[in-house]
């Protein structure tokens, strides 16, 4: 696919490294240690992860069972990441100094997450993939020593994976208080009944532990105190994974998004996180930093899309209407807008990250919400432009089949201009002449606003 086979000796690294490209306004918030690590991550993503993405895709397409066969290249890459010390960067230093935090702030990890977002496998390869990151934060912050030993340790080591089960099929679960899964307290166990879906990661055989949100006190007048969270081993009796949901044609195997039911599922009383009624509070704390991570990864994805756009604009074989793509003004405008929108979004996310670092996610509600809404819209827009630039190669059937919109618009516009210009120019000229005659005929002089203003006096 490349048309650059002659560029043998060009280095793969950008002229300006990631740490040099930090927006000036954010520079004071990044330590020298973090800058160094950021550049290491960038190099690793560019030089190792993105090439490995191709291998991953190929392995996934040839496996006989997409849901059980794990592409071996991922283990290869995890080993390599550990060697390089690129591991668990998401654990922020102000909260998890004693839990294995590598010592970065949310802002600093955010900058690294942008790099990870450029590759399909990088996040998982360095144990920084959702939903494990959020789950590890939850257990690290709210878990008992025993819970940490049992689940946090293997998660931090990348030996198992986890699920976070909140969304439910039959309610508007974007409003958390609607959650219906019932958790009853019995003499020596919790009894769970209900169902969940969009349970990300539930398709993965290595997913061993679910954090489950449900209602322990459905009649509490304070709807924010009705929920609790439990640690539930994924293979507990009574749990059935019915199917994997697909997203726009992607099943996201072997990770998957499961539809899961709980029928009389029993777990010990010490499976609860913190205590009864704390579900909502834990969830609020969990979401903030995760949104920063997601947002920065999406920004990384948008940067890659912009790179593909530029790559394509300089493909000398593509010369619609006789000139290379980079001389088509519409496409250059797309590059500019993408550059602008990515840069603006990044500043919004970094500003939110700093506010979380200064105190916590609750303190930064407005900033996090802005990042949450702004970044995905930006990313979709930028990626959409990149796809459209690639025409058939990155096809969006409807808008490209039979020629891209842009080609049709150019022809439509040129035709309109060609057919009508003489007529319009002549008409306007004549109308001006007629107006002049009318002024004369009515004995009037044309007046210009402010014409009584000063004339030169010196």
CB of 217 to its own copies, least distance (A): 19
Region 71-130 residues binding its own copies, contact defined as CB under 8 A? 72-73, 76
Label each residue of 423-447 as H, E or C.
HHHHHHHHHHHHHHHHHHHCCCCCC
Closer CB to its own copies, residue 186 or residue 317?
317
What is the spatial distance between Cα 254 and Cα 330, in angstroms, rounded to a whole number?
40
> Binding residues for its own copies, how many (CB under 8 A)?
180
Neighbouring-strand partners of residue 250: 247
| Candidates 51-59, 82-90, 96-104, 146-154; binding stretch for its own copies (CB under 8 A) | 51-59
Interface with its own copies, residue 157, by CB under 8 A: no
Quick check: 33 and 89 in contact, CB under 8 A? no
Q: Whole-number minimum distance, CB 286 to its own copies, in Å?
A: 10
**Is residue 131 reached through a cis peptide bond, with omega within 30 degrees of 0 on the bond before it?**
yes
Name residues contacting its own copies, limited to 275-294 (CB under 8 A): 287, 290-291, 294
Residue 271 DSSP symbol: G
Smallest separation (angstroms) from its own copies to the CB of 399: 5
Footprint of its own copies on residues 371-390 (CB under 8 A)?
Answer: 372-374, 376-377, 379-380
In the bound complex, what is the minimum distance in angstroms from residue 327's beta carbon to its own copies?
9
218 binds its own copies (CB under 8 A): no
For residue 246, state whether it binds its own copies (rule: CB under 8 A).
Answer: yes
* 268 three-state secondary structure: strand
- From candidates 54, 149, 159, 270, binder to its own copies by CB under 8 A: 54
Give the residue ranges of DSSP H helices in 279-328.
279-313
434-453 binders of its own copies (CB under 8 A): 434-435, 437-439, 442, 444-453
Residue 166 and residue 196: Cα distance in Å, rounded?
A: 7
Q: In this chain, which stretch among 143-151, 154-162, 269-277, 433-441 interacts with its own copies, using CB under 8 A?
A: 433-441
For residues 56 and 74, is the Cβ–Cβ distance under 8 A? yes
Sign, Cα dihedral of 131, 136, 139, 142: negative
Whose tokens are 């990250």? That residue is: 353
Residue 393, CB half-sphere, CA atoms under 13 Å: how many?
A: 10
User: Does 362 sit near its own copies (CB under 8 A)?
Assistant: no
**Residue 184 CB, nearest approach to its own copies (Å):** 19
Shortest Cβ 262–its own copies spacing (Å): 10
Within 312-351, the residues that bind its own copies by CB under 8 A are: 313-314, 317-321, 325-326, 328-337, 339-340, 343-345, 347-348, 350-351
In the range 395-424, which residues lie near its own copies by CB under 8 A?
Answer: 395-399, 401-417, 420-424
**86 or 156: CB nearest its own copies:** 86
Instruction: Considering the complex, state which of residue 47 and residue 184 has its C-beta at the smaller distance from its own copies.
Output: 47
| β partners of residue 212 | 165, 230
Residue 142 and residue 140: Cα distance in Å, rounded?
Answer: 6
Rounded-to-integer distance, Cα 68 and Cα 255, Å: 10
Helix axes 279-313, 106-116, angle to 10 degrees: 40
Nearer to its own copies, 157 or 393 (CB): 393
Name the helix (H) or strand (E) containing 185: strand 182-185
**Cα–Cα distance for residue pair 324/35, rounded to 1 Å:** 38
**Binding-site string for its own copies from residue 257 to residue 276, where x marks contact by CB under 8 A and - marks none:** xx------------------
> Does position 393 bind its own copies by CB under 8 A?
yes
Residue 240 found at the interface with its own copies (CB under 8 A): yes
Other CB atoms within a 10 A radius of the CB of residue 57 amount to: 14
**Does 170 engage in binding with its own copies (CB under 8 A)?**
yes
């Amino acid at each position: 696919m490349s048309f650059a086979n002659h560029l043998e000796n060009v280095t793969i690294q950008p002229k300006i490294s990631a740490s040099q490209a930090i927006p000036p306004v954010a520079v004071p918030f990044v330590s020298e240690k973090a800058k160094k690590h950021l550049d290491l991550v960038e190099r690793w993503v560019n030089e190792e992860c993105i090439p490995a993405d191709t291998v991953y895709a190929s392995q996934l397409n040839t496996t006989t069972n997409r849901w059980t066969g794990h592409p071996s290249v991922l283990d290869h890459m995890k080993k390599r990441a550990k060697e390089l010390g690129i591991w668990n960067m998401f654990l922020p230093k102000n909260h998890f100094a004693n839990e294995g935090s590598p010592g970065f702030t949310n802002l600093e990890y955010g900058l690294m997450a942008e790099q990870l977002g450029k590759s399909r496998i990088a996040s998982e390869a360095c144990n920084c993939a959702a939903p494990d990151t959020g789950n590890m934060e939850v257990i690290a912050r709210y878990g008992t020593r025993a819970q940490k030993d049992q689940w946090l340790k293997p998660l931090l080591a990348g030996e198992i994976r986890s699920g976070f089960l909140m969304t439910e099929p039959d309610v508007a679960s974007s409003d958390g208080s609607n959650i219906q899964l019932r958790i009853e307290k019995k003499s020596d166990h919790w009894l769970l009944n209900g169902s969940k879906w969009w349970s990300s990661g539930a398709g993965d055989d290595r997913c061993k532990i679910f954090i489950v949100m449900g209602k322990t006190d459905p009649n509490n007048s304070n709807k924010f105190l009705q929920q609790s969270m439990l640690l539930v081993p994924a293979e507990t009796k009574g749990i059935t994974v019915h199917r994997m949901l697909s997203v726009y044609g992607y099943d996201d195997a072997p990770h998957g998004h499961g539809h899961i039911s709980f029928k009389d599922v029993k777990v010990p009383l010490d499976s609860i996180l913190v205590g009864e009624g704390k579900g909502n509070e834990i969830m609020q704390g969990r979401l903030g930093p995760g949104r920063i991570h997601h947002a920065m990864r999406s920004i990384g994805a948008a940067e890659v899309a912009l790179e593909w756009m530029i790559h394509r604009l300089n493909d000398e074989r593509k010369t619609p209407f006789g000139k290379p793509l980079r001389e088509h003004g519409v496409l250059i405008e797309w590059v500019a807008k993408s550059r602008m929108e990515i840069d603006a979004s990044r500043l919004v996310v970094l500003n939110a990250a700093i506010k979380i670092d200064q105190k916590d996610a609750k303190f930064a509600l407005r900033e996090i919400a802005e990042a949450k809404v702004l970044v995905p819209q930006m990313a979709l827009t930028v990626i959409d432009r990149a796809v459209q630039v690639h025409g058939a190669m990155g096809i969006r059937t409807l808008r490209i089949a039979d020629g891209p919109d842009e080609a049709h618009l150019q022809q439509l516009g040129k035709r309109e201009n060609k057919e009508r210009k003489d007529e319009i120019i002549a008409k306007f000229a004549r109308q001006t002449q007629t107006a002049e005659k009318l002024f004369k005929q009515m004995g009037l002089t044309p007046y210009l606003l402010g014409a009584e203003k000063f004339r030169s006096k010196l």
